[in-house]
Copies of this chain bind each other. A is one copy, B any other.
Amino acid sequence: MKTRDRILLCTLELYNADGEPNVTTLDIANELEISPGNLYYHFKGKEALLEALVDDFLLSTHSLLVSPEEPDDASPDDLWLLLHLLFEAIATHRFLFQDLSNLMGRYPFLRHAMRPWLAALRSRLNQVLRALRNSGHLICDEDAEQRLLDALCQTTLFWLDYQRVAGDGEVDAAGGVQQMLGLLRPCLDEETAEWMQLLINRYN
């Protein structure tokens, strides 16, 4: 494995474990048993390191957030898969969400990257909701749909952090998917709601 890749992988692990603000370039070099000078040969500094990790994240979620060509059939199964892949990518880069405000404040490039990402997330989820509503499975007024959309976006961003803060032992992405589907359920028609509940229970 190339040193550059080892650095990225190790940095990701340390950031996820301790939070980006609490990890120094020296920590990374020590963990890898390379010199700080070597680290700086591969990455100009912490910002370059972060940029590379953020690029990975954006790449891993891009295909999930672009609008699908054909109008979604929006079955619960499709939605489940979308959320599953999304939470997987977020869990892999969870350090990014754990200190999101802080990182966006300190790195302008991250603001410029995450604002559009969030907008794309919101737009994609909105599309899912509309498809569900058009097919008659989602029953709610416009106001409730917007609140649901906000709740879904918020849960996408902060579920892992919430679990961590609440201290519920090990944190897994599956719980986030369950929570998302669970938020949706009270607004679904009876048949779809039951199907949804089956999907939720399938994890346990």
Identify the A interface with B (CB < 8 A): 18-19, 21-22, 98-102, 104-106, 114-115, 118, 140, 143-144, 147-148, 150-151, 153-155, 157-159, 161-162, 164-167, 178-179, 182-183, 185-187, 197, 200
Contacts and interface: CB of A to CB of B under 8 A. Distances in A.
Given A98-B101, A165-B101, A183 B151 contact: yes
B104 A102 contact: no
A178 B151 CA distance: 12
Contacts of A165: 100-101, 104, 114, 118, 157
Interface of A is mostly: helix
Contacts of A166: 115, 118, 153
9 contacts: A22-B105, A101-B161, A104-B165, A147-B179, A148-B186, A153-B162, A154-B159, A158-B158, A183-B183
